[in-house]
Amino acid sequence: MSLVLYLVRHGQTDCSLHNRMCGAGIDAPLNAAGERMAEALATAFAPLPWRAIYSSPLLRARQTAEPLARKKGLSVEVLDGLKEIAYGTWDGRLEDEVARDEPEAWANWQRDPGSFAPPGGENAHALAARVLPAIATIRARHTDGLVIAFAHKAVIRIVVCALLGIDVGLFRRRVDCKTGAATIVEFRPDGPLLHALNDVSPLPPELREAGGT
């Protein structure tokens, strides 16, 4: 049996609901809908035989992981490399505000987030350089079985691109990742196989389209 890794985006926060940029510099908690998402994911995933549960160090990811960890009697193992992309001076701001106030920088980042970064933040290649070693750590620790990692939108999109041979600079154009969505990758001898992308079916219908980004 090979390793099957579930990459799950954290539940909804007020930042994600209102399209406010929320990167590594903001430790936003889950809102009420996000807490319901975390409980629903725990209920859906509890029957599976998890080898380990990993999380980004950010609160919203840990809060999403904790209900499943409690149900399974497992600890949440934190990996710093799973932390969300750094938005620098854009952290906490509405996208529309950034586009209005810094049109050139915003246009550059929209066009090529692989080469351009928000002021004081990370571009896609910088994020890949710290996220992929975290994935390698998980793979080194677990050669088979089921493992779940709770992370963030940009992190999961960039991991998918990197594993499938897509330019990570295209992560915003090629891969979607809703709050509470699961992406499933199997690491086979001949390379990674994507089983599911942006799957919100474990959530109840009223939370599958919870709004925001």
Yes or no: say if 148 and 68 are a contact pair by the CB < 8 Å rule: yes
Which member of 10, 66, 102, 122 is catalytic? 10
Q: Which of 27, 31, 87 is nearest to 57 (CA)?
A: 27
10 is catalytic: yes
Write the single-letter amino acid at 4.
Answer: V
| Residue 7 CB coordination number (10 Å) | 27
Q: Which of 8, 5, 1 is nearest to 195 (CA)?
A: 5
Token digits of residue 175: 């891969």
The rounded distance, in Å, linking the Cα atoms of 85 and 112 is 15
Q: Which of 110, 111, 112 is nearest to 98 (CA)?
A: 110
Yes or no: say if 61 and 37 are a contact pair by the CB < 8 Å rule: no
Which residues are CB-neighbours of 146 under 8 A, at least 6 positions away?
A: 4, 6, 48, 49, 50, 51
97 is catalytic: no
Which member of 18, 39, 66, 84 is catalytic? 84
Task: Enumerate the active-site residues.
Answer: 10, 84
